[in-house]
Amino acid sequence: MSPQRMEPLRELTEVERVWLERISRSYSEPAAHVTRAKEILEVAGGSTYQEAAEKAGRKSGDAVSQLVGRFNREGMLAIQGHPGGKPPAKYQSSERERVLAEFRRQPDPEKDGTKTWSLTTLQKALRKAEDGLPEISTERIWVILQEAGYRWQKSRSWCETGQAVRKRKRGVVTVVDPDATPKKS
């Protein structure tokens, strides 16, 4: 059963009607575009949402109702649809900076339970902090650190890409590779 017409289809312009008819008969357009064009043309011809869906080879009149509302707002762009299936970004730049700030802080063995950060100890510290991120996962932390240029080493520590700690006769030295950025690309 189709919903009531809360938002009836606006009057189509001549250009819109011509393009909708072309798209509805096209063999090279994506199938979803062809179906949406057929549905809009059926509704413009006086069919109900359910009838338009059935004539276009679909089942749901509700989807046609939503398409009509989108078409009224966006015009021909509604035929293309919207990308879907991908959840919105959960952590923005401020949260990324918060993770990196916590990572750059030297861990306190008594408070954090470690001398060096691992993903799980960093996750626990971020979840416990007052201004922390209570739902952050180790996978998200790993991605943030990778994007910032850090890599997990065999020595079970994080190292910034292009930098290495080496033992020399005069002591421990940090060696920087000047070509690290071009090598990453």
Do 168 and 127 reside in the same domain of the chain?
Answer: yes
Note whether residue 97 is domain-resident. yes
Query: Does 40 fall in a domain?
Result: yes
Structural domain of 149 = 93-184
Please report the pLDDT score of residue 181 as a whole number. 61
Tens-digit pLDDT profile for residues 27-85: 999 999 999 999 999 999 999 999 999 999 898 889 999 999 999 999 999 998 777 77
pTM of the model: 0.47
Whether residue 73 is contained in a domain is answered as yes
Q: Are residues 38 and 118 in the same domain?
A: no
Tokens 């408070």 identify what position?
111
Instruction: Judge whether 85 lies within some domain.
Output: no
Q: What share of the chain is helix, strand, coil (3-state, %, to 5)?
A: 50, 10, 40
